[in-house]
Structure 1
Amino acid sequence: MLWYGSPATDWEREALPIGNGSLGAAVFGTLASERLQFNEKTLWTGGPGSAQGYDHGNWRAARPGALAAVQDELDAKTRLDPDSVAAELGQPRVGYGAHQTFGDLYLDVPDAPQTPATYRRELDIANAVAKVVYTHQQVRHQREFFASYPDGVIVGRLSADRPGSVTFTLRYASPRRDFTATAASGRLTVRGALADNGLRFEAQIQVRGEGGTVTSNADGTITVTGADSAWFALAAGTDYADTYPDYRGKDPHTAVTGTLDKAGSRYDTLLARHVRDHRALFHRVALDIGQSVPADVPTDRLLAGYTGGATSTDRALEALYFQYGRYLLIASSRSGSLPANLQGVWNHSTSPPWSADYHVNINLQMNYWLAEATNLAETTAPYDRFVEALRAPGRRTAKEMFGSRGWVVHNETNPFGFTGVHDWSTAFWFPEGAAWLTGQLYEHYRFGGSTDYLRTTAYPVMKEAAEFWLDNLRTDPRDGTLVVTPSYSPEHGDFTAGAAMSQQIVHDLLTNTLEAARVLGDDRAFRTRLEAVLGQLDPGLRIGSWGQLQEWKADLDDPADDHRHVSHLYALHPGRQIEPGTKWADAAKVSLSARGDGGTGWSKAWKINFWARLRDGDHAHKMLAEQLKSSTLPNLWDTHPPFQIDGNFGATAGITEMLLQSQYDAIEVLPALPATWPDGSVRGLRARGGATLDIEWSNGRATRVALTASRTRRLTVRSDLLPGGESTFKAIAGQRYVWGEKV
């Protein structure tokens, strides 16, 4: 539960988010004019039809020989300035667009108090309901808001414990002037088309009163007068479709009308369906780390008083932050819409930071690090569909830019299949993006084990991404290995050949693809080719002059460098090349220590995961504490700054890595438990291989482990609770196995 003693005055820092995947809203709790800022995830400028023009590949000019010239220059010089490479390979981005706020609903309440007798604003993340409760002149007023996935609507209700006390006027506002708003029969209809690209959009809000009157006004507003209670449901959509190359579907009017009509006329029914749906996901996992918080301490004070995990109230914030990440993913990623973007599904601007887009040099991938392990596998469906939709434009970019097979996407993308480059020299070139994106698809298979999913969804995408690199790896004249060239360690340093992250990502892709090809029995010639290339591929693992894991193939690392990106540790996390106890792990620790504990919110979140993979729970916890103390806003959104949701998701994933790991084909129980959590329990975490675990511990050691298998296969479990520290056995689907249970 998040709660506050005053209304929100700032969208980014204080408003409380609700969402159902495609729709999101931020609740302010202001009394005289309640504000509900809302979004529909496909409302984007740019793309086909943009007034600026649009080319998804952004490789408009004929550039014969440009890529080969840069590669030849790198063979001779080993390092190139990013500006010089951008001048050769980049070009201004045109018609890219940005996610748009849909607008704001205001509920103007006459005679609302400036200083009510009591006030509480809250977000119940267990039930996904936001509330505002206040008392004025001995009347208790309550507002409830939720975003229903089963019914596809945002719902709000105003009530009071004295009959006839609910009066308000509902109106719509937008920073754009591209719409009309009309009201009839208690239904407000907002309809328009974006000026930039003609994307049609529509929202309908149906208002119903219990007692009193509901009046539709000529100015496009709706007034409720003297009701015992009143509620509304909002449906919205656009004519966007994820179909290359037009990205347009049907006019949204029929679908929006049908959704709202189908939602029905009973508030209690909508609420019950919504809570049941949300709880079915959210309540799969429970975490107890000895947290407790006084009932009179609001969340903003809890955050302000956080000292780093030394007290039970500190642990209350940490446990809340863990579950808040799960809540935000459920709210911003459900089947039928786009995946969670840089701000999930929440955006109050027409020009949000980084367009509120999909950066694929870590950010989109980080959004889903928590999904499988925290038992939210269903939330990955929009991600899968989005990656699949990138293949068609990505093939064209691969052919036009590289003259190769396969598909490619660079540093960032949008809902219109942008797979090309732009000209921001330190953040434009990243053809490894597609390879990294496939990792989440393979993880879904590793956790769930469905060969049907592997065959129909994951493997075709992986194989085509692998084909791109089979065509584009180049022999390094320095040592004869195969390298990515040109390569760029994200947002840092010079262009080189064979930067560590580039090599590690491609190694991960080819390894995963080979494993999948063997499982599915794909053609032998392709498997042989993968094996041969993996044998020649530079793995991207080198130890430098001061014991560090090198970021570049040449020993260029500066021990005083504290850059927020630590991209050369990809092989540690989310990759699996570096195992604890190896010389590579020791070198990774040297690099990570040198970079320090600073950075932006998402960077700190990644470092939680790094330290957990290094089995240093205390340092992982220190990074969690740093993120909470200096990169978290009062509404618990992560801040870069500004707000960027990947830090929330990355931190939840990091906490999970502290409690359970399974990347090396063995289930590791409490691999990085910090000293600040000596006693506790967690229920419902998932492990690769098809297992759900409940774990209890005391004095820093496991006391009970229960495993439920979802597949029949051999599993290995490691814990100091087990004789010899390890047990390998044939798990039977549906069976539960328990260690340490008292008889």
Structure 2
Amino acid sequence: MSQSTGAQTPPQDLRLLYGRPAADWEREALPIGNGALGATVFGAVDTERLLINEKTLWTGGPGSAEGYDHGNGHGDGPGALEAVRRRLDRQGSLAPDAVAAALGRPRRGYGAYQMLGELLLERPGAPSRAEDYHRELHLGTAVAAVRHTENGVAHTRAYFASHPAGVIAGRLGADRPGATGFTLRLLSPHGGEVTVADGRITLRGALADNGLRYEAQLQVVTEGGTRTDGTGEVTVTGADSAWFVLAAGTDYADTPPRYRGEDPRERITAAVDRAAARGWQPLLEEHTADHRRLFDRVTLDLGGRTPAGRRTDELLAAYTGGPGSADRALEALCFQYGRYLLIASSRPGSLPANLQGVWSEGTAPPWCGDYHTNINLQMNYWPAAVTHLDETADPYDRFVEALRAPGRVTAERLFGTPGWVVHNETNPYGFTGVHDWPTAFWFPEAAAWLAQPMYDRYLFSADTGYLRDTAYPVMREAAEFWLANLRPDPADGTLVVSPSYSPEHGDFTAGAAMSQQIVHNLLTSTLEAAGILDEDPAFRQRLRDALDRLDPGLRTGSWGQLQEWRADLDDPEDRHRHVSHLFALHPGRQITADGPRAGAARTSLAARGDGGTGWSRAWKVNFWARLRDGDRAHRSLAGQLTDSTLPNLWDSHPPFQIDGNFGATAGIAEMLVQSRFGEVDVLPALPRAWPAGSVRGLRARGDITVDVDWADGRAVTVVLATGRTGPVVLRSGLLAGAYTVRARGGGAPPGMTERGRGTVVFTAEAGGRYVFTARP
């Protein structure tokens, strides 16, 4: 895989800065994480708080006090479904309540994501306020820090979550020997037993609902001074500095039917022992190197600078989206913050990022803190490939693979067919069936959509081994489900999804646009993948036959819109946050900016307006970017920052929902580089607000890494680093004028020809580097 263009990268000083402690978890606390573990830092002077999360700590599932059936307890299964289909054939539409009454059932044992506990660090005698207070999160090092002065003594704290070590670590120090002292406690809303020995606090228990065992261990290490064990606490007095490491885990395993593994004690003890023995500085250096290996792959300069000392909350409050330099700096910061959050909440060996990443407060998070599969989980991973964070998608792939076994059971029990299926939302216990919330319980297209990012991951990497072993089996089985469940429309015989529902409004119908587009995308991609692998000739013919008869879900309606339903039901005054019928534009591939349906997509998108919740605005950034309208994409981004972003830069639905952060980062990348249909399209949606800038390290499909410098609204230099041998098509505004091109070793690449419209074709070599430079 091509990793770097080798171009010089400008320095990044990317920090979230604040002048006071956090008073509110959702709005102000600063997140650190290593994928499996997360913490949010408040930075109070007298009583520091860190809320601790471990991503497998979930109520519900097997063993739940409510009972658990994976959402499959729904009456007479295929018979009930067939009755709904017949009613739709007769009536054309059904109210959501009617379909939920026929097919839904109350959810049992679904569970919710849980906060593990709270680390309290009390400093007796410390003032509640201090001089020279400074709180920050450094995105480049993934370290949260606090500095303040008390009685002439400068105190410092630093916190990070190490993926290599599997721990959260924190250190307190001062510039006067013997000035560090505190009492540390570890509390949990779940009760549990707390023991203390030799500076180690151990919290151990089992969730009351399902018996899931959990454990956390925290070791305190001092440099100078004394350390005293107490009842449920460790006290440090007169130290020069002191630090701690914390590891936590549960006996959850992602293997049905029990979803239980080994007691976590042994691995947690080993992680804490290793980290404490290494020492603070080696642990920090290892963590920083690991984080930078991912984070530093991409830099972005939009021509802005943050004024020295300007706090992030002030920067956000003053943001207008106008021409100011500080606004450009905030936009670039938010782009990188999305990448930071993805690294922190999704690393190999953990569950994927959920609705709140890895961070949650309390025991009743919004929407259970779960995995919504009608866009939200997929959106979490939109930035992974394009912003050079391919490894962060490993948990997503493993999670989707783990859904296949329970999804087969749901397909058989509810639909009476082969294949696998999952609906509107799921949990770590393989919930693939339905519940009974009328407007958000039915979405069997979710499995097809979950397969789409996996095929896209292949398109970026061009790794046929990954396609064969990981993506294609998921795609093929999801396609089998739809080959068995598409049915002829009584009016014209085309194959349609029935029943279908366009999230999250309107009536149930047959063949809603989003349903048809998702299935079309799946069948098309599966056919492509089988051809690449040269497998399944008979299955490929079945896919072709189905695609020949499939309604593609692309109709232009009476006011020029792309219809959301087969019938022309769209209301031009509809401002619903979901614009689901534009799936074919993004993340799908059926609509192009130059294609025949682009105008209808533009009309629909404009009619929905620039409002919406955080994730909805982020999707609109991507929609407008795909339509090559950089100014409108930027307007959506500006709206997200002004109306749907909290002072700690978390996205707000409201409440906090992390998919908007990830969607915005992906949208900014989409404005700068696109790579559908075999082209590397540079600056396809550059807004006037970004007349000059640079980006390093974005990825294009076909295993290509891209650097771009631009000025006066057009590319000045484009550098492509290619990981595979083969043809490359580059589309860029700089090619409309005079330019020079140089391959590694000098001279132009072989077979280079111009196609017009600023497009050039050449044959790249694996490991090649090609520099296109506009002439003055």
Normalised by the size of structure 1, how large is the TM-score? 0.99
Aligned to 2:29: 15
Alignment of 1:384-399 (within 5 A): 384-399=397-412
1:727 to 760, 767, 774: 760
Deviations for 1:20-52, whole angstroms, at most 9, x for unmatched residues? 000000000011110010100000000000000
1:103 to 110, 117, 129: 117
Aligned to 1:612: 625
1:523 to 536, 539, 543: 536
Q: Establish whether residue 640 from structure 1 lines up as the match of residue 633 from structure 2.
A: no
Aligned to 2:743: none
Deviation at 1:582, TM superposition (A): 2.1
Alignment of 1:177-192 (within 5 A): 177=191, 179-192=192-205
Q: Establish whether residue 117 from structure 1 lines up as the match of residue 131 from structure 2.
A: yes
Aligned to 1:242: 254
Aligned to 2:266: 254
Distance 1:574 1:581 in 2: 16
Distance 1:4 1:490 in 2: 39
Aligned to 2:715: 702
Distance 2:72 2:413 in 1: 10
| SS of alignment partner, residue 721 of structure 1 | helix
Q: Establish whether residue 165 from structure 1 lines up as the match of residue 179 from structure 2.
A: yes
Q: Establish whether residue 577 from structure 1 lines up as the match of residue 590 from structure 2.
A: yes
Normalised by the size of structure 2, how large is the TM-score? 0.95
Deviation at 1:309, TM superposition (A): 3.2
| SS of alignment partner, residue 763 of structure 2 | strand
1:424 to 408, 432, 437: 437
Distance 2:734 2:319 in 1: 33
Deviation at 1:130, TM superposition (A): 0.1
Letter in 2 for 1:171: R
Deviation at 1:57, TM superposition (A): 3.4
Letter in 2 for 1:574: P
Distance 1:693 1:167 in 2: 50
Distance 2:628 2:396 in 1: 30
Assess if the C-alpha contact under 8 Å between 1:59 and 1:401 holds in 2.
no
Misfit runs of 4+, over 4 Å: none
Q: Establish whether residue 327 from structure 1 lines up as the match of residue 360 from structure 2.
A: no
Aligned to 1:283: 296
| SS of alignment partner, residue 695 of structure 1 | strand
Aligned to 1:40: 54
Assess if the C-alpha contact under 8 Å between 2:624 and 2:630 holds in 1.
yes
Aligned to 1:203: 216
Assess if the C-alpha contact under 8 Å between 1:58 and 1:94 holds in 2.
no
Deviations for 1:695-734, whole angstroms, at most 9, x for unmatched residues? 0000000000000001112110101212541111111111
Deviations for 1:359-392, whole angstroms, at most 9, x for unmatched residues? 0000000000011000000000000000000000
2:38 to 14, 21, 24: 24
Distance 1:733 1:249 in 2: 43
Deviations for 1:257-280, whole angstroms, at most 9, x for unmatched residues? 111112224100000000000001
Distance 1:391 1:259 in 2: 32
Alignment of 1:333-348 (within 5 A): 333-348=346-361
Deviation at 1:600, TM superposition (A): 0.4
Assess if the C-alpha contact under 8 Å between 2:77 and 2:415 holds in 1.
no
| SS of alignment partner, residue 67 of structure 1 | helix
| SS of alignment partner, residue 105 of structure 1 | strand
Aligned to 1:625: 638
1:82 to 96, 119, 122: 96
Distance 1:741 1:502 in 2: 44
Distance 1:730 1:439 in 2: 28
Assess if the C-alpha contact under 8 Å between 2:554 and 2:562 holds in 1.
yes
Assess if the C-alpha contact under 8 Å between 2:21 and 2:42 holds in 1.
yes
Letter in 2 for 1:273: E
Segments of 5+ residues of structure 2 without an aligned counterpart are 1-14, 737-755
Letter in 1 for 2:759: E
Letter in 2 for 1:739: F
Aligned to 1:649: 662
Distance 1:727 1:576 in 2: 22
Deviation at 1:62, TM superposition (A): 3.4
Aligned to 1:137: 151
Assess if the C-alpha contact under 8 Å between 1:103 and 1:348 holds in 2.
no
2:65 to 35, 51, 54: 51
Q: Establish whether residue 153 from structure 1 lines up as the match of residue 186 from structure 2.
A: no
Letter in 2 for 1:599: G
Deviation at 1:741, TM superposition (A): 6.5
Alignment of 1:713-724 (within 5 A): 713-722=726-735, 724=756
Distance 2:733 2:264 in 1: 57
Distance 1:349 1:456 in 2: 39
Distance 2:127 2:310 in 1: 24
Overall identity of the aligned pairs, in %: 67
1:433 to 446, 449, 465: 446
| SS of alignment partner, residue 770 of structure 2 | strand
1:296 to 282, 301, 309: 309
| SS of alignment partner, residue 192 of structure 1 | strand
Q: Establish whether residue 232 from structure 1 lines up as the match of residue 249 from structure 2.
A: no
Assess if the C-alpha contact under 8 Å between 2:448 and 2:522 holds in 1.
yes
Assess if the C-alpha contact under 8 Å between 1:57 and 1:396 holds in 2.
no
Segments of 5+ residues of structure 1 without an aligned counterpart are none
